[in-house]
Amino acid sequence: MTWLILIAFVVTYLGMAVGGIRGLRVDRAWIAVAAATVLLLSGAMSPAQAMGYLDGGALLLLFALMLVSAQFDFSGAYTRLTELLDRHAQKPELLLLGVVAMGGLLSAILVNDIVAFALTPLLCRTLRQRGLDPRPFLLALALACNAGSVATLIGNPQNILIGQAGGLDFWSYTLVAAVPALMALTVVYAVIWWQWRHGWTYLPRSQNAVSEAMPHQSYRYKPMLATLALILLFSLPFPREYSALAIAVLVMLSRTVDSHRYVEKVDWNLLLLFIGLFLVTGAAAAIPQVTQFAHSLTVGGELPESVAALAGLSLIASNLIGNVPFVILLLGLWPDLSDASLIGLAVMSTLAGNFLLIGSVVNLIVVESARRQGVRLGFIDFARSGVPVTLISMLLAGIWLTIAAGG
């Protein structure tokens, strides 16, 4: 059974790198769940073992935050923010600054995948209606959603996982991570502006663009109150997943929006990816030979705990298999990383996701959603901005984390 587990592990992470199976309409989530299913059916992993490998707290927290994020959509908050940006459409530099600030701020307090999914089609329609080329602004949105999500432990899936696994304090983490997040957002704006400063291309105005109807105005304060309540509860010594679930249940109380519509906004595919990776990685990490190898590295002081090691490993692995699979793998092999290392892992793995299109789920969400709106962003288009943004951001973050650790 050891060989079967190893084969399932290798196939799973090869699938994370490739992104699917050629000729079949399956994705990374299907690959991870299929591998876990093989282990269960073969008896290589028992149901009891599978339950032990799952991080229920991280899954519950992510699920609850997705429900809360849905309220921003139903209340019309995303639409109003997009309309606010539209007022500055005649000044591309100012509009770009607004996109970076909006994507970064929202991603710090919400799951960045949800923010990218909600804002991309709105931006595409607004910009094309104005006759602006959406590409630089969509690149800025994707890069800013990743950069801004660095700031908190609820900004993205890997940070949620790291925070739960290490029991990190919400505000202590933010105190350290907010600086590299702000620096990264500044770099995003500077790089996109520099690359497009002489070529803000104007396209023919779209005659078919349809403005989004403004949803239930009476609920415009609901998402703000929910966010403030979350931040307050996260400051208390109470499990974050319970706090988020309590707020989600209250948010779903509505006279105008059916509760099942909130559930429909949940990214079940991402949750399935988490479940599959938890099971496959947990089974592999439980193999005696793997456990002994990981223990020998721990005893020998060879864990990738330095800022430079975490940065290099994150840059390579995040752009081969994705930053979420990379974090799950690393935590499965070395669950006892120090708080400083966990903070470094959260910052570096997130920033590394901006390097290439495949580095982060957010990047894929923006590109695929834009494609459905008739806007094409290719691999090279993304790398042209993503590579310099990532290298500069990670260098600045590394310097800051080294200073913070020394202090």
Read off the tokens for 244.
């988020």
Positive or negative torsion for Cα 151, 154, 156, 159: positive
User: Mean per-residue pLDDT for 272-298?
Assistant: 82
Return the DSSP state at 75: T
pLDDT tens column, 232-251? 998 888 888 999 999 999 99
Which residues on adjacent β-strands are paired with residue 202?
A: 132
Q: With pLDDT > 70 as the criterion, what percentage of the chain qualifies?
A: 91
Per-residue pLDDT, 50: 94
pLDDT tens column, 5-15? 999 989 988 88
Q: Of 235, 117, 241, whose CA–CA distance to 173 is shortest?
A: 235
Nearest-angstrom CA–CA distance, 350 and 344? 10
In this structure, of 16-20, 167-171, 363-367, the range with the lowest mean pLDDT score is: 16-20
Type of residue numbered 77: A
pLDDT tens column, 59-75? 999 899 889 888 888 88
- Residue predicted with more confidence, 320 or 406: 320
Q: For residue 107, name the pLDDT band (cuts at 50, 70, 90).
A: very high
Residue 371 contacts residue 138 (beta carbons within 8 Å): no
Whose tokens are 């090691």? That residue is 309
Burial degree of 256 (CB within 10 A; 0-12, 13-18, 19+): exposed
Return the DSSP state at 132: B
Rounded mean pLDDT of the chain? 86
152: alpha, beta or left? (left if phi > 0; alpha if psi -120 to 50): beta
pLDDT tens column, 191-218? 999 998 876 665 555 444 444 444 444 4
Domain ranges (residues) in the chain? 2-201+209-406
Which residues on adjacent β-strands are paired with residue 132?
A: 202
| DSSP string for 173-223 | HHHHHHHHHHHHHHHHHHHHHHHHTT--PBPPPPSS--PPP---GGGTTHH
Per-residue pLDDT, 343: 95
Predicted confidence (pLDDT) at residue 349 exceeds the cutoff of 90: yes
Per-residue pLDDT, 177: 97
Nearest-angstrom CA–CA distance, 317 and 232? 35
Contacts of 242 (CB under 8 A, 6+ apart): none
Nearest-angstrom CA–CA distance, 323 and 327? 6
User: Mean per-residue pLDDT for 6-27?
Assistant: 85
Nearest-angstrom CA–CA distance, 265 and 4? 36
Return the DSSP state at 321: T
Contacts of 165 (CB under 8 A, 6+ apart): 55, 58, 331, 335, 342
Nearest-angstrom CA–CA distance, 29 and 270? 7
